[in-house]
Structure 1
């Protein structure tokens, strides 16, 4: 109840500030400051009863998401904290001055810091930031910072991935019996946030934890990658190259262009992958990365089979008996018995199987195997990525 009353009083005084701005004068404010800070110490915790902890309320106002480094696991955000506490040594009930603005280094303030920061610990805020002090002793401090925090990255569903990152703020030195940090009523505010080209906010949350002698407030951001750029510049070209690779088996061996076409598609795939690698996260474990490797494997299989087909197609050796049996069994199963028609219009079976027939048979089988495998694999991978299915 006491905490709620303090917040209500703060809101009432904050709303009344424009009306009170003309009250009092410079001389009165100067006298008040001299009286308040004559014996004030910035190293003494400003609550008169040390058996009770100093309660510090903490909110975060997010201004923007600067970037997320997947390799280093670093989230960079811009924002400022809204820190509130009651300083029992900065109260007054005389005169018309209802509030003061004092540099942050002139008063006691909790040694708040980002616990999971990516760089060394530094003091929040800067010298030119002022704290607002109301006559009831309520202090409002808003340090502005560019926060670099550690974040565990999961790119399994790249480029449709979501990342959840925490910003953990603690009072570094004081025990929980001295200073107790609690989350404010707003948690994380995104009203002043500028939209990022690559990341968008999915959800935010804030919670307060107490671990042993430490109290902390954790602000959690769930962000989602904007996938439009990657769809049009990476996914669609990769799918088209994979489809072109399958259609290598449509070209007849006699055309003379089959090997050249297969190598051209394979090299195009390889060159494109080197370009794409600069756009992909360097971390391992992406389903899309596995998809690229499978398509590259399809390309290797196609080049190898095409080389063997051309070798067999121009071979002068007799087709082995097991090859003829294999083809005849396959034709019987598929109801594709090879018949020819003589001059009298009578159908007769083809007696000998040539290497040309065998390579055509291999082309037919490989086309449908790879085509079906390619379609099924592409559909499954896209569904898994889009719906972020855990496998």
Structure 2
């Protein structure tokens, strides 16, 4: 029974204070009706002093980085704070209420917007987003948006490229004498960031930029492309195809498969480029794009050389003396430099098959050296970016 008497004692002699719905109604009536709150008026008692806006940016995700349209699409929300001198009260007069939430359309909010947006200017937030108002007049407003901003993209070192994109927020209509935007606590917060399959955030930067007529905050995202996918599915297959292309000159012309082999490799190049074209940037200027064109050009060169070689291989007439003289530098077996050998008889032993075999040897090493130098140069430039 002791607990029952203790409960009766609390009811009769102890005054328990609580926040009721009536307290909230009275507070809202006091602020918005009795005090005649006007959201069109900048909430400064002294209008000669500018309103200070504190701003943080919470990045939630990187949706897309479009190289062709030069557009960055991100998801995130701003944490904007300011002091509304017309929305303050004494907590004890309203049941100890320290804060309440109000729709953003019912109070003064700054006309802050994305300055380098890709679409038309529009108000941040929406009708169901509410702002938190504290008893000291501190207002916290967190509009959630999908931001489409312009970004200058350089794809020279694709797929090992790094991009730096700015997201600029500015007070559009008000001048610096009315509203000043400043950084709040941490600038860009990545605690809620979800991983992107293609891009990783390497670092971030923030800065305030107060110009003669406007105040703005610039958030910079430094992004790095994840290159593993492109390395495994584009670069390595191209290198392997280039090796097969060079070995066309290792096949003897008498085998009967030389032309079919080089055409098959060339068509493999063409089909492969058609398949991966959707994965390549639609803009020009990448080192990898020039490398692909070089490899395609090498394939064309090999096909043309093979065609000419096969035509010469089946000729029955004598080999011109000028070509025989060139072959002496290659030390063809049937040509000897011994002084006692008759030069005329030696020249008559040279056939077009010997000439083509000699050309294959030279072209094999020339194309091999060119492919190796081009590949090492391109990979070196890409990886050292």
Question: What is residue 381 of structure 1 aligned with on the other side?
Answer: 378
Q: After the TM superposition, which segments of 4 or more aligned residues of structure 1 sit over 4 Å from their partners?
A: 346-350
What are the residue-to-residue correspondences of 1:174-193 with 2, within 5 Å?
174-193=174-193
> Any idea what the Cα deviations from partners look like across 1:344-369, whole Å, max 9, x if unmatched?
xx999981222111111110111001
How far apart are 1:249 and its partner, in Å?
0.2
Quick one: which of 361, 366, 370 aligns to 1:369? Answer: 366
Quote the residue 2:8 is aligned against.
none
> Counterpart of 1:281?
281
**1:294 CA drift (Å):** 0.3
Which residue in the other structure is 1:28 paired with?
23
- Give the aligned partner of residue 271 of structure 1: 271
Deviations 1:307-366 (A, max 9, x none): 1111111111211111111111x23xxxx462689xxxx999981222111111110111
RMSD: 1.8
CA offsets, 1:94-147, max 9 Å, x none?
421111111111110100100111111111011111111111111100000000
- 1:152 is matched with which residue? 152
CA distance in 1, matches of 2:257, 2:209: 69
Distance, in Å, in 1 between the alignment partners of 2:381 and 2:341 is 52
Aligned-partner SS, 1:85: strand
- What is the aligned partner in structure 1 of residue 10 from structure 2? none
- 2:346 is paired with a residue whose SS is coil
**Is the alpha carbon distance of 1:315 and 1:23 closer, same or farther for their aligned partners in structure 2, counting shifts above 3 Å?**
farther
For this pair of structures, how many residues does the alignment match?
A: 358
How far apart are the structure 1 equivalents of 2:284 and 2:296? Answer: 17
Aligned equivalents of 2:313, 2:18: Cα separation in 1: 101
Match of 1:99 in 2: 99
| Partners of 1:299 and 1:163 in 2: CA distance | 33
Residue matched to 2:79: 82
Please state if 1:204 is matched with 2:204: yes
Partner of 2:32: 37
Structure 2 residue aligned with 1:7: none
Give 3-state SS (helix, strand or coil) of 1:351's partner.
helix
Structure 1, unaligned stretches of length 5 or more? 1-21
Whole-angstrom distance in 2 between the partners of 1:33 and 1:42: 14
1:24 shift after superposition? 2.6
Alignment of 1:170-249 (within 5 A): 170-249=170-249
CA distance, structure 1, for counterparts of residue 72 and residue 80 of structure 2: 22
Contact 1:114 1:121 in 2 (8 A): yes
CA distance in 2, matches of 1:340, 1:153: 60
Query: Which secondary structure does the structure 1 equivalent of 2:202 belong to?
Result: strand
* Alignment partners' CA distance in 2, 1:185 and 1:366: 65
* SS in structure 2 at match of 1:175: coil
2:305 aligned with 1:310: no
In the superposition, the TM-score normalised over structure 1's length comes to: 0.89
Distance 1:23 1:77, change over 3 A: farther
- 1:3 is aligned to none
Assess if the C-alpha contact under 8 Å between 1:63 and 1:190 holds in 2: yes
- Quick check: 223-232 or 256-265, which moved more? 223-232
SS at match of 2:365: helix
- 1:340/1:348 contact within 8 Å kept: no
Distance 1:348 1:223 in 2: 72
Deviation at 1:233, TM superposition (A): 1.2
User: What's the offset of the Cα at 1:36?
Assistant: 0.5
Residues 334, 346 of structure 2: 8 Å contact kept? no
Could you say what secondary structure the match of 1:36 adopts?
helix
- Report the TM-score, using the length of structure 2 for normalisation: 0.90
Q: Is the 8 A contact 2:335 2:346 kept in 1?
A: no
Q: CA deviation at 1:23?
A: 5.2
Larger Rg: 2
Inter-partner Cα distance in structure 2 for 1:255 and 1:101: 85
Query: In the alignment, is residue 163 of structure 1 matched against residue 160 of structure 2?
Result: no
Partner secondary structure for residue 146 of structure 1? strand
| 1:51 Cα offset (Å) | 1.5
